[in-house]
């Protein structure tokens, strides 16, 4: 890609920039970035990654092949209106705006554009995101390959129908928090059984890494892997019986379903708000 623009310079934009630069997917000088008003952040990104920051929209979009919409979702209507005259069918739009549909972006821009909508998670900051991506019919096969390469610099990426992105949000978008919640519980359990905090943390981290790797490489379903660790009358069975008694598995299922429903509600509310904002612009 000759030139990539980030409109918004928050944590997700920086995670993507870091991944792209670290994986040498693009020359940093071909990555341009802007934000609402934080000049210090643009300067910091330039110093750290050698990318170019500017508030000159003519310079920003000149020769751009793609623009990543990474502003705050509530600012989307104003921002897209501001840059709409610079958008064309030659520039691919990549949105990481939670809750904002492809159709809403098209309506806000007033144009038919090539648009990809992605839902990465916060683990992008360490190159381990799980990202779901949806595209409209205008996106070409070549553009899809480029999009996938971009998000693979910050972890795993897969294409899904847009109607499944709320489920992706409920599962992997919010998923890191579920794992942190589990780790928090394991840390408390370790403390109550006499393990010191530092040792417990190392054991928990390695246990999670090991279990995740087993699920990744094994052809066996997770249910079978769990059964193979569980000897009748053993320690694992004793622990699992408590989890079953307290409905932990069902709680996780309901957790993901509730987050999915909330994602849909927030998306609908945000679309209403953005359309209202557009009408007043």
- pLDDT of the chain, 281 residues: tens digit per residue: 899 999 999 999 999 999 999 999 999 999 999 999 999 999 999 999 999 999 999 999 999 999 999 999 889 999 999 999 999 888 999 999 988 999 999 999 999 999 999 999 999 999 999 999 999 999 999 999 999 999 999 999 999 999 999 999 999 999 999 999 999 999 999 999 999 999 999 999 999 999 999 999 999 999 999 999 999 999 999 999 999 999 999 999 999 999 999 999 988 888 888 777 767 76
Phi, psi at residue 208, to the nearest 5°?
-65, -45
Identify the pLDDT of residue 1.
Answer: 86
Residue 14 and residue 45: Cα distance in Å, rounded? 8
Looking at 165, 197, 221, which one is the last position of a domain?
Answer: 165
Residues 97 and 204 placed together within one structural domain of the fold: no
- Within-domain flag for 209: yes
Closest CA to 251 of 173, 201, 189, 185: 185
Identify the pLDDT of residue 267.
Answer: 87
Residues 120 and 68 placed together within one structural domain of the fold: yes
Q: How many domains does the chain have?
A: 2
> Which pTM does this prediction carry?
0.91
Residue 8 and residue 35: Cα distance in Å, rounded? 5
Identify the pLDDT of residue 281.
Answer: 66
- Within-domain flag for 271: no
Identify the pLDDT of residue 278.
Answer: 67
Hey, how many other C-beta atoms are within 10 angstroms of the C-beta on 214?
Answer: 14
- Within-domain flag for 272: no
Strand, coil or helix: 95: strand
Residues 43 and 124 placed together within one structural domain of the fold: yes
- CA Rg value for the chain: 22
Residues 244 and 161 placed together within one structural domain of the fold: no
Domain that holds residue 75: 4-165
């Amino acid at each position: 890609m000759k030139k990539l623009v980030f409109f918004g310079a928050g944590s997700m934009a920086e995670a993507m920039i870091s991944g792209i630069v670290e994986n040498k997917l693009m020359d940093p000088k071909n990555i341009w970035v802007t934000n609402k008003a934080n000049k210090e952040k643009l300067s910091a990104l330039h110093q750290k990654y050698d990318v170019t920051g500017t508030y000159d929209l003519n310079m920003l979009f000149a020769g751009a092949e793609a623009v990543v919409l990474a502003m705050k979702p509530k600012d989307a209507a104003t921002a897209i209106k501001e840059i709409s005259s610079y958008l064309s069918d030659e520039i691919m739009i990549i949105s990481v705006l939670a809750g904002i549909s492809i159709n809403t972006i098209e309506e806000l821009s007033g144009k038919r554009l090539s648009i990809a909508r992605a839902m990465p998670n916060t683990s992008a900051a360490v190159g381990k995101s799980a990202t779901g991506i949806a595209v409209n019919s205008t996106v070409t096969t070549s553009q899809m390959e480029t999009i996938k390469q971009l998000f693979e610099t910050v972890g795993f990426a897969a294409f899904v129908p847009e109607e499944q992105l709320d489920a992706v949000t409920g599962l992997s978008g919010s998923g890191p928090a579920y794992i942190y919640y589990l780790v928090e519980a394991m840390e408390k359990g370790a403390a109550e059984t006499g393990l010191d905090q530092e040792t417990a943390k190392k054991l928990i981290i390695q246990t999670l890494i090991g279990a995740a790797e087993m699920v990744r490489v094994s052809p066996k379903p997770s249910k079978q892997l769990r059964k193979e660790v569980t000897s009748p009358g053993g320690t694992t069975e004793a622990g699992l019986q408590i989890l079953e008694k307290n409905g932990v598995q069902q709680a996780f299922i309901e957790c993901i379903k509730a987050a999915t429903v909330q994602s849909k509600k927030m998306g609908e509310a945000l679309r209403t708000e953005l359309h209202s904002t557009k009408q007043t612009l």
